[in-house]
Amino acid sequence: MELIESKSIFSPATGFIKRGGFEWTCNPYVGCTFGCSYCYAAFLPQSRRPPEEWGKWLTAKKNAAALAEKQAPKVAGQAVYLSSVTDPYQPAERGLMLTRGILEALAEHQPRLTIQTRGPLVARDIDVLKQFRSLRVNLSIPTDSERVRQQFEPKAPPLEKRWAAIQDVREAGIAVGICVTPTLPIENVDAFAKRIAAFKPDVLVCQDFHDSGGGFGADTGEEARTLLAEIGWQPSDYRRFVDRLRQDQKVYEGETGFFPPPKVEGLFPVKSPGLFDGVA
Ligand code: SF4
């Protein structure tokens, strides 16, 4: 793992994050050792390494907490997405606690914060998360099948650990989203839909695989598309799953599901001026 001094920890939102209404992204790391086979971040310029090396390297911004301490006033009351090109709760976070340091710095300035992760480690920070008045924690739970999970994201945490973490976050009174994104093959559509409906997430998002021919979007990695074809999961299966989910609750699809938590009246209503130089 490489440790670097970064110039900035909050970057102006771009792409689907910006279109969703976020003003800032925050990435304590570059790269991600969960190394999911479908990850679009592998193809982004920030990654600076060939996509085939995705998951095998990690750069940590060792001054992330100090930067956040200094720069958090600039994002007060604004919509921040943590994280867009990495997972803020991947294994290195357990020891480095960069994400935790950022949260501690942000709490005083009350941004509208969305945390996006596959990492049950997020539950470690519930004490800090409870200090935010506008927050949603999105856990990615892309299938009901541990076997499928191991095929597509072998280094990411087991599904039941994610369910346990999101339950803990919910019990702490924090809004939660379940992101079935990208939607991997589902073993038992009806049972999975019932489980999600019983949990009653504040936001539920699905997203089918897609290939925009190498042009950047939230494109699906080739390795994952090959796996999907081998398993024989079709777009019609995805549609059947989403239709089943909709019998019980609202389902957002694709980027329409990635939007900030609601504004809180009386909390930093004035947008702070100025952008930071450079990118995170
Ligand atoms: S956890 Fe997220 S950022 Fe990390 S490899 Fe998987 S999809 Fe990409």
Q: What's the confidence (pLDDT) of residue 50?
A: 86
CATH number given to 2-257: 3.20.20
Helices (H) and strands (E) in the chain, counts: 10, 11
Contacts of 122 (CB under 8 A, 6+ apart): 88, 89, 115, 129, 137, 139, 165, 169
- Written as tens digits, the pLDDT of the chain (280 aa) is 999 999 999 999 999 999 999 999 999 999 999 999 989 888 887 777 888 899 999 999 999 999 999 999 999 999 999 999 999 999 999 999 999 999 999 999 999 999 999 999 999 999 999 999 999 999 999 999 999 999 999 999 999 999 999 999 999 999 999 999 999 999 999 999 999 999 999 999 999 987 655 444 556 777 888 888 888 899 999 999 999 999 999 999 999 999 999 988 766 544 443 433 333 3
Judge contact between 195 and 160, C-beta under 8 A.
Answer: no
- For 53, the 3-state DSSP assignment is helix
User: Using CA positions, which residue lies closest to atom 8 of ligand 1?
Assistant: 39
Protein residue whose Cα sits closest to atom 6 of ligand 1: 36
CA of 36 to the centre of ligand 1 (A): 5
For ligand 1, pick from 81, 82, 87, 205 the residue to mutate: most ligand atoms within 8 Å of CB.
Answer: 87
Mutate to test the pocket of ligand 1, among 57, 86, 184 (most ligand atoms within 8 A of CB): 86
Give the amino acid at 147: R
Could you tell me the strand order of the sheet in which 79-82 lies? Answer: 10-12, 24-26, 79-82, 112-117, 135-140, 175-180, 203-206, 252-253
Q: Is the CB of 35 under 6 A from ligand 1?
A: yes
**Who contacts 100 (Cβ-Cβ below 8 Å, separation ≥6)?**
65, 93, 124, 125, 128
CA of 140 to the centre of ligand 1 (A): 10
pTM score above 0.85:
yes
The number of the ligand 1 atom at minimal distance from the alpha carbon of 40 is: 8
Residues 6+ apart with CB under 8 A from 271: 77, 78
State how far the alpha carbon of 152 is from the alpha carbons of 145, 183, 214, in Å.
11, 11, 20
Distance 258 CA to ligand 1 centre (A): 16
Can you give the pLDDT at residue 41?
Answer: 87
Burial-class residue 213 by CB neighbours within 10 Å (0-12, 13-18, 19+). exposed
Q: Which atom of ligand 1 is nearest to the CA of 156?
A: 1
Say which DSSP state 265 is in. T
Q: What is the domain partition of the chain in residue ranges? A: 2-257
